[in-house]
Amino acid sequence: MRIHNTESGELEELVTRRPGHVDMYVCGPTVYGPPHLGHARTVICFDMIRRWLMHSRTVTFVSNYTDVDDKIIARAREEGRSAEEVARTYEQVWADIMRRLRVLEPDRTPRATEAISGMISMIESIVERGHAYPANGDVYFDVSSYAGYGRLSHQSLADLRAGARVEPGEHKRNPEDFALWKAAKPGEPSWESPWGPGRPGWHIECSVMSTDAFGMGFDIHGGGSDLVFPHHENEIAQAEAATGAKPFARYWLHSGMVNLAGEKMAKSTGNVVMLSDLLEVHSAEAIRLLVAQTHYRHQLEFTEDLVEECERAVDRLATFRDRVAEVLQVDSAALTGPLLEALAGGRDGYAGSGGEGEVGPEAEAMSALERSMDDDFGTPGAVAALFEMTKRANAELDTGRLDAAWSWAKALAVFDEILGVLPPAREEGADTALVEGLVELALDIRRRARESRDFELADRVRAGLGELGILVEDAPTGTRWRRDRRQTAGR
RNA sequence: GGCGGCGUAGCCGAGUGGCUCAGGCAGAGGUCUGCAAAACCUUGUACGGCGGUUCGAUUCCGCCCGCCGCCUCCA
């Protein structure tokens, strides 16, 4: 498996610290407001990366919450609440939305405020080893003392110096130095430390939380590309300066930004699509497909029309899944939930549908999936493989070749395990039986009307159901119906 | 200014030194159907510009043009 390492700028063979295991840390959100599509893009990219790694290895996935920060404090002031209340609120909002986007929960979600003592010890080590200095209750990292600085972002100290600046009230020796600890200001949350009361600086938390989880030299560290500098650069400097060990992380993965109207989506400019709004109108699957169709390192230009297109594409997959379920005479729901997972577990023997020597669509799709994903997590290729399989299998279904349906179901299971783009089948609700009964009743009336060639009545029944979000289709095997996903996506 | 990325058919978006093709959406024609829907089949000779390397470049190199990101909190 080859993956792109930001540090080398090249594709490298993935060699993990422990064979068969991957320890992975992805920078989580600063919880000061609700998440937007840009956040989702990053999270979904790393979710798919994680799922692919899980396909063949044991993965421990850690992602933090940054719950102490200037913006949280500012927000708390606005809302007249404590910073902690603000952080807990938006942590919950984040977790809810990511669950709705079918993102797997991290194995651990450490909070910055729960790692303060670790941060203090790390800062002490950095100071002891001569890479940081206290000044007026602050502590700054001495960038000039650390030779590897700029390694990740491929910039020289001179380059960085040109852009660096000193904020009023800071006590840096050099502009490129950065704060490890900030002296408390009145009314702000603070913790006791050897340098007096204060709170941690911008980047120390991730150095501490990731090494708390995994120690030095863990496998993969990820995040959005806007974190490369200074956040990740500083994480490296801190962890390596504190321990003298190298490397901090073996592979650095960075996902691209989402653009809206040609510019980066960012809260600060108001150039955002909030996920709560997007999920009112669109399904998680369409959003995931949109993300999967662009390589994770590339920029993603967002428009409403693109999600709408993905919605139609997802419908296509759902229709195929339902056809397969029909052939197998199982409920579609069974091909979406636990059975699918069980199927995905046994991934041997994609015997294929054809006769001897013929390779079935699912076998080709599986090898294309593997090829693409093993090459720097090529989700676009995986998506293409999924649709290619759908087309070919549909063609076989059209000609009545059903013997491979079970293999298709298994392949769908694997694709859904990695990408999570198959929409859930008919949802069970309190009124499911009633709805189904009424629809069947209406369809029975329609069937009788058709038999007596009263097509006007038959079409009225179909149109009426259509208005209620029930799609009716006459197949050679009989009439089938389904709910119009797009009318119910927001619920 | 420094670092990095991108420019592919109507739109989105993979990919590759030549060989039959990414894929999705949209469009056109067709099969099926009472009609529709779904599905399938057919259909589009695209690779920003100019040079260079090469038998041959969209793919490699150089320059130019355009767009974007980071260099400040940011997924």
ipTM associated with this complex: 0.94
Q: Looking at A79-88, A180-189, A477-486, which range is the least confident one?
A: A477-486
Q: Where are the alpha helices (DSSP H) in A357-404?
A: 361-374, 379-398
Asked whether the beta carbons of A138 and A198 are under 8 A apart, the reply is yes
Q: Give the span between the Cα atoms of A163 and A175, in whole angstroms.
A: 9
- Give the domains, in start order, of chain A with CATH numbers: 2-278 (3.40.50.620), 284-291+300-419 (no CATH), 432-488 (no CATH)
Asked whether the beta carbons of A275 and A36 are under 8 A apart, the reply is yes
| A415 dihedral zone (left: phi>0; alpha: psi -120 to 50; beta) | alpha
| C1' (B11) to CA (A306) span, angstroms | 9
Position A123, amino acid: I
User: Which band of pLDDT confidence, cut at 50, 70 and 90, is reported for residue A327?
Assistant: confident
A60-117: pLDDT as tens digits:
999 999 999 999 999 999 999 999 999 999 999 999 999 999 999 999 999 999 999 9
Instruction: Select the more confidently predicted residue: A170 or A447.
Output: A447
- Is a pLDDT exceeding 70 seen at residue A491? no
| C1' (B42) to CA (A225) span, angstroms | 44
- Is a pLDDT exceeding 50 seen at residue A347? no
User: Which band of pLDDT confidence, cut at 50, 70 and 90, is reported for residue A403?
Assistant: confident
Report the relative pairing of strands A138-141 and A132-135 from DSSP bridges: antiparallel
Instruction: Select the more confidently predicted residue: A268 or A245.
Output: A245
- Please tell me the predicted confidence (pLDDT) of residue A337: 57
User: Which band of pLDDT confidence, cut at 50, 70 and 90, is reported for residue A202?
Assistant: confident
- Please tell me the predicted confidence (pLDDT) of residue A486: 65
CB atoms under 10 Å from CB of A74, counted, come to 13
- List, in sequence order, every residue forming a beta bridge with A241; answer none if it has no partner: none
- Extract the tokens encoding A136: 């007026």
Residue A271 contacts strand B, CB under 7 A: no
Which whole number is the average pLDDT over A464-475?
90
Residue A128 contacts strand B, CB under 7 A: no
Residue A167, SS3?
Answer: coil
User: Which band of pLDDT confidence, cut at 50, 70 and 90, is reported for residue A395?
Assistant: very high
Position A242, amino acid: A
- Is a pLDDT exceeding 80 seen at residue A351? no
A55-69: pLDDT as tens digits:
999 999 999 999 999
Position A195, amino acid: W
| C1' (B51) to CA (A304) span, angstroms | 41
User: Which band of pLDDT confidence, cut at 50, 70 and 90, is reported for residue A203?
Assistant: very high
Residue A369 contacts strand B, CB under 7 A: no
- Is a pLDDT exceeding 60 seen at residue A490? no
Residues lying close to strand B (Cβ under 7 A), chosen from 170-229 of chain A, are 178, 202, 223-229
